[in-house]
Amino acid sequence: MAKTLLLLFALLTLFSRITHQQELFFEGFNGGEAAANMSLNGGAVIHQGGTLGLTNDTKRVLGHAFYSTPIQFKNKSKVVSFSTAFAFAIVPQYPTLGGHGFAFTISPSKDLPNGYPSQYMGLLGPKNVGNFSNHLFAVEFDTVQDFEFGDINDNHVGINLNNMASNKSVKATLNLKSGKVIQAWVDYHSSKNQLEVRLSQTSTKPNSPILSYEVDLSPILQHSMYVGFSSSTGLLASSHYILGWSFNINNNNGDYAKTLSLKNLPPLPSRDKPHRRALILGLSLSASIFLLCSIAVPFYLIRKLRNAEVIEPWELEVGPHRFRYKELKKATRNFHHKNMLGFGGFGAVFKGTLESNTEIAVKRVSHDSKQGFQEFVSEIETIGRLRHRNLVQLLGWCRNRADLLLVYDFMPNGSLDKHLFEDSARKTLTWEQRFKIVKGVASGLLYLHEEWEQTVIHRDIKAGNVLLDGDMNARLGDFGLAKLYDRGSNPSTTRVVGTLGYLAPELTKTGRPSTSSDVYAFGALLLEVVCGRRPVEAKAMPEELLLVEWVWERWRVGAVLEVLDSKLGGIYDVVEVVVVIKLGLLCSCEVPEMRPSMRQVVRFLEGEVPLPEVIPPPDGFGAGKGVGTAYGGNTWLSAVDDDVEDGSGLSVLLSGTGDEGR
Ligand SMILES: *[C@@H]1O[C@H](CO)[C@@H](O)[C@H](O)[C@H]1NC(C)=O
Ligand SMILES: *[C@@H]1O[C@H](CO)[C@@H](O)[C@H](O)[C@H]1NC(C)=O
Ligand SMILES: *[C@@H]1O[C@H](CO)[C@@H](O)[C@H](O)[C@H]1NC(C)=O
Ligand SMILES: *[C@@H]1O[C@H](CO)[C@@H](O)[C@H](O)[C@H]1NC(C)=O
Ligand SMILES: *[C@@H]1O[C@H](CO)[C@@H](O)[C@H](O)[C@H]1NC(C)=O
């Protein structure tokens, strides 16, 4: 009986603890009380002055700080009104580049075990993002534009429901990452199903919200939830601080959380030196312990630093990051020539094996370091966010003086040109494989052109840049690089980057690459795959020099199957072959406007739409021009740099008109 009573009493006190804990007010988090009520994990710490730090300048860390007792959010099944105000400061490592951001969070747990750093802000991870069973509500203060989640810019406030893609977001009216203290108010009116966010640099609550969103949170939140903050850093880091917090949960809409008076808040911590405290501690101990420490501490620190640099396999999933030069040197056995896979568009490529046994390909690009470091990092982050099953994934990078190292997924079957042109012991590609490769490249290129937030022009589509994974799926490599490469060069002299035979004729005139110049190069690739020949063949008979003209000529006289690669041994699907040849010719059209878009190309290849009956002659062939003139006359041929790559065609660097710089 006594036991039952005790249990009842315990339950009652627990219950009252949950229901009656309705107002929180922290002007700083100093003193045992506040600290005792906050549950911290990850990189979160309470600094000496009383400021709560969620993250610091360390890369790829997350920090959580939640009120340690759950709060009752529902009356029956309806979420009641709630209101909060908090003062924060975001101090980025590099003044103009934020390191992700933080979010006011209401969550079923206070340690968010599925949270990843970087763009996930410690809230969710790739496996549960968007899942309704997350029951997660967050107001994000985001300082990085993540295209993956449709971010509007790199300085916005968004409402996230179970997801990292915001249900509603607005550009912030203040610079969130200015390093200055900003107060934010979040109010939910249950009767109106209205959520409002306000921002100010003062202690006065503004009349008008910057964001107002009509939403019933009842399906999102559960009865009992934790409230607090979550934050993370990525490749770039920021220190995220919360200086004060007030929260109020109520059932009548009049009661708002108390506004914070900024002058009562603790100061921002000065950047403290990392291991000083540990050393001071060591010094204050007795001599023998000191001796022990002086051996143990550095040992511990070295180990810790080492561990911090070891890249976990999951990190590779999250986004590109910076590798240590030493690590890549070791992985590639000091860039040993035996590990060299070949020359790609911009430099030599080496095979490597990380300590985690992950196989990688390391591209070593010599880079002129005129380009600003921050700009360069942003660019790499952008390239790294491009994700598609037909693209070679960029895993990370490293910069060591004039060397720029880019780390990619390793592709065990090498590049397409080797399979097409090298008479080694390799098995010849079957028609089925070739058709699958062609469709894969088309799908990857469509993603770059149309399916991503920004249009990415590849600029160097060719067989040497099509890599084959373990299942012989095509993966496009070197995307995004041309732009990066160009950044460092003088804008008044545009360089046309590309490969002879794949260069659209208009490129040599305007120097301005476009999606249709990529389509032109893709056309050349299609013909190459069918014919098993390079677009420009030095050894061929003069009339066969340019592949596209030869194919067109055969097409015209009705003998198109003569162009097929003899290595196919006559085994192929004639309908598919004709589609690929016709499409190759269509994409090779001299007039850019007459070439199909990649979306149309994909439809043609999938057989969703039939190809037009009449194909215009490529490169003004019908106008009776001779060989050579087809690519815009011979004038520029003399300008071909003899910067010859791996025999997969001639690489061309031309001085252009500078149109692109406009
Ligand atoms: C924090 O916890 C203490 C008990 O440890 C309690 O007395 C106090 O009211 C709490 N403070 C807040 C602001 O919740
Ligand atoms: C930053 O936070 C990490 C943990 O997240 C910690 O290991 C490191 O010591 C902190 N650095 C500083 C300078 O406080
Ligand atoms: C729950 O809501 C009802 C109205 O729907 C209200 O009468 C009641 O007081 C609320 N209960 C609590 C505990 O606030
Ligand atoms: C959502 O999460 C639940 C629980 O973790 C899991 O069982 C379910 O499969 C997930 N749903 C999806 C679509 O991933
Ligand atoms: C919020 O957005 C997600 C997709 O990002 C969507 O599934 C969900 O229905 C949206 N929720 C509301 C309440 O609009």
Index of the ligand 2 atom closest to the CA of residue 61? 5
* Tokens describing residue 129: 């993002």
CA distance linking residue 613 with residue 448, whole number of Å = 29
DSSP 375: H
The ranges assigned to domains in the chain are 19-258, 302-409, 416-661
Ligand 3 geometric centre to CA of 262 (Å): 35
Fold of 416-661: Transferase(Phosphotransferase); domain 1 (1.10.510)
Predicted local confidence at residue 484, as pLDDT: 55
The pLDDT tens digits for 516-531 are: 999 999 999 999 999 9
CA distance linking residue 448 with residue 481, whole number of Å = 13
User: To which H or E segment does residue 444 belong?
Assistant: helix 431-446
Q: What is the CA radius of gyration of the chain?
A: 30
**Which burial class, exposed, middle or buried, applies to 645 when counting CB atoms under 10 A from its CB (0-12, 13-18, 19+)?**
middle
Predicted local confidence at residue 85, as pLDDT: 97
Q: Is the pLDDT of residue 561 over 60?
A: yes
The pLDDT tens digits for 438-484 are: 999 999 999 999 988 778 888 889 998 899 999 999 999 887 665 55
The pLDDT tens digits for 354-404 are: 888 889 999 887 655 455 566 666 667 778 888 899 999 888 888 776 677
Ligand 5 near 340 CB (within 6 A): no
Asked, colleague to colleague, whether 302-409 and 416-661 share their fold, the answer is no
Which range has the top average pLDDT, 67-81, 274-288, 410-424, 632-646? Answer: 67-81
Index of the ligand 1 atom closest to the CA of residue 69? 14
Index of the ligand 1 atom closest to the CA of residue 67? 14
Q: DSSP assignment of 81-149, as one string?
A: EEEEEEEEEEEESBTTB---EEEEEEES-SS-TT--SGGGTTT--TTTTT-GGG--EEEEEE-S--GGG
CB under 8 Å to 16, separation ≥6 — which residues? none
Higher pLDDT, 496 or 436: 436
Q: Is the pLDDT of residue 628 over 50?
A: no
How many residues does the structure list for the chain? 662
- Measured from the Cβ of residue 379, the count of other Cβ atoms closer than 10 Å reads 17
Question: What's the CA dihedral at 151, 153, 156, 161 to 10 degrees?
Answer: 0
Fold of 19-258: Jelly Rolls (2.60.120)
Range scoring the smallest mean pLDDT among 28-42, 83-97, 414-428, 465-479: 414-428
CA distance linking residue 289 with residue 275, whole number of Å = 18
* Tokens describing residue 317: 């999933």
CB-based pocket (< 6 A), ligand 3: 75, 251
Q: At what angle do helices 431-446 and 515-531 cross, to 10 degrees?
A: 170
The pLDDT tens digits for 493-519 are: 344 556 667 778 787 677 778 899 999
- Distances from the Cα of 181 to the Cα of 86, 210, 260, 275, 468, angstroms: 10, 17, 12, 27, 51
Residue range 314-321: mean pLDDT, rounded: 57
Minimal-distance CA residue to ligand 3 atom 4? 75
Ligand 5 geometric centre to CA of 162 (Å): 8
CA neighbor of 586 nearest in space, from 578, 575, 576, 594: 594
* Mutational pocket test of ligand 1: of 20, 30, 33, the residue with most ligand atoms within 8 Å of the beta carbon: 33
Ligand 5 near 215 CB (within 6 A): yes
CA neighbor of 135 nearest in space, from 73, 183, 189: 73
> Across the chain, which distance is largest between two alpha carbons, in Å?
107
Range scoring the smallest mean pLDDT among 2-6, 44-48, 236-240, 508-512: 2-6
CB-based pocket (< 6 A), ligand 1: 24, 33, 36-37
Ligand 2 near 58 CB (within 6 A): yes
- Distances from the Cα of 589 to the Cα of 521, 534, 546, angstroms: 11, 18, 14
DSSP 449: I
Ligand 1 geometric centre to CA of 204 (Å): 26
Contact 476, 391 (CB under 8 A): yes
Tabulate helix, strand, coil % of the chain (nearest 5). 35, 25, 40
Ligand 2 geometric centre to CA of 274 (Å): 7
Ligand 1 geometric centre to CA of 21 (Å): 9
Provide φ and ψ at 569, rounded to 5°: 60, 30
User: To which H or E segment does residue 556 belong?
Assistant: helix 547-556
Ligand 3 geometric centre to CA of 215 (Å): 20
Minimal-distance CA residue to ligand 4 atom 1? 131
Ligand 2 near 268 CB (within 6 A): no
Decide which of 3.40.50.300, 3.30.200.20, 2.102.10.10, 3.60.21.10 is the CATH code for 302-409. Answer: 3.30.200.20
**Residue 645: CA count within 13 A, CB half-sphere:** 25
DSSP 394: E
* Mutational pocket test of ligand 3: of 20, 75, 253, the residue with most ligand atoms within 8 Å of the beta carbon: 75
The annotated binding site for ATP is made up of 363
CB under 8 Å to 529, separation ≥6 — which residues? 416, 420, 434, 437, 438, 463, 580
Catalytic residues: 460
The pLDDT tens digits for 142-183 are: 998 876 788 888 899 999 999 999 999 999 999 999 999 999
**Residue 93: CA count within 13 A, CB half-sphere:** 16
Ligand 5 near 167 CB (within 6 A): yes
**Which burial class, exposed, middle or buried, applies to 450 when counting CB atoms under 10 A from its CB (0-12, 13-18, 19+)?**
middle
CA distance linking residue 459 with residue 480, whole number of Å = 8
Provide φ and ψ at 623, rounded to 5°: -80, 10
* Tokens describing residue 608: 């969703």
User: Which 3 state secondary structure label does DSSP give 29?
Assistant: coil
Range scoring the smallest mean pLDDT among 178-182, 247-251, 308-312, 658-662: 658-662
* Mutational pocket test of ligand 2: of 52, 58, 61, the residue with most ligand atoms within 8 Å of the beta carbon: 58
Q: Is the pLDDT of residue 244 over 60?
A: yes
Ligand 5 near 627 CB (within 6 A): no
CB-based pocket (< 6 A), ligand 4: 128, 131, 133
Query: Which residues are registered as beta bridge partners of 364?
Result: 348, 405
Predicted local confidence at residue 72, as pLDDT: 93
Higher pLDDT, 107 or 561: 107
- Measured from the Cβ of residue 427, the count of other Cβ atoms closer than 10 Å reads 9
* Mutational pocket test of ligand 5: of 132, 163, 216, 220, the residue with most ligand atoms within 8 Å of the beta carbon: 163
Predicted local confidence at residue 368, as pLDDT: 54
Minimal-distance CA residue to ligand 4 atom 12? 131
pLDDT > 90: percent of the chain: 44
Which range has the top average pLDDT, 319-328, 580-589, 653-662? Answer: 580-589
Cα 476 off chain centre by: 16
CA neighbor of 184 nearest in space, from 193, 192, 172: 172
Predicted local confidence at residue 126, as pLDDT: 81
Q: Where are the alpha helices (DSSP H) in 242-362?
A: 276-284, 287-309, 313-318, 325-331
Minimal-distance CA residue to ligand 2 atom 11? 274
Q: Is the pLDDT of residue 7 over 60?
A: no
Range scoring the smallest mean pLDDT among 58-62, 238-242, 382-386, 565-569: 382-386
Minimal-distance CA residue to ligand 1 atom 7? 33
Long-range CB pairs of 298-303 (<8 Å, 24+ gap) are 301/275
Residue range 593-597: mean pLDDT, rounded: 93
CA distance linking residue 499 with residue 489, whole number of Å = 19
Ligand 1 geometric centre to CA of 35 (Å): 9
Contact 73, 248 (CB under 8 A): no
Contact 369, 392 (CB under 8 A): no
The pLDDT tens digits for 253-302 are: 567 999 999 999 999 998 644 444 444 343 444 444 454 555 555 555 44
Using DSSP bridges, classify how beta strands 394-400 and 321-322 pair: parallel, antiparallel or unpaired: parallel
Ligand number nearest to the C-alpha of 274: 2
Q: Which amino acid is at 335?
A: F
pLDDT tier for residue 345 given thresholds of 50, 70 and 90: low
Index of the ligand 4 atom closest to the CA of residue 127? 14
Residue range 213-236: mean pLDDT, rounded: 94
Minimal-distance CA residue to ligand 3 atom 3? 75
**Backbone φ/ψ region at 431: left (φ over 0), alpha (ψ -120 to 50), beta:** alpha
Contact 264, 169 (CB under 8 A): no
* Tokens describing residue 296: 């143990």
Ligand 5 geometric centre to CA of 122 (Å): 20
Minimal-distance CA residue to ligand 5 atom 2? 167
Minimal-distance CA residue to ligand 3 atom 8? 75
Minimal-distance CA residue to ligand 3 atom 10? 75
Ligand 2 near 61 CB (within 6 A): yes
The pLDDT tens digits for 78-120 are: 999 999 999 999 999 877 778 899 999 999 999 999 998 888 9
* Mutational pocket test of ligand 1: of 37, 226, 246, 258, the residue with most ligand atoms within 8 Å of the beta carbon: 37
pLDDT tier for residue 423 given thresholds of 50, 70 and 90: low
CA distance linking residue 501 with residue 524, whole number of Å = 7
**Which burial class, exposed, middle or buried, applies to 137 when counting CB atoms under 10 A from its CB (0-12, 13-18, 19+)?**
buried
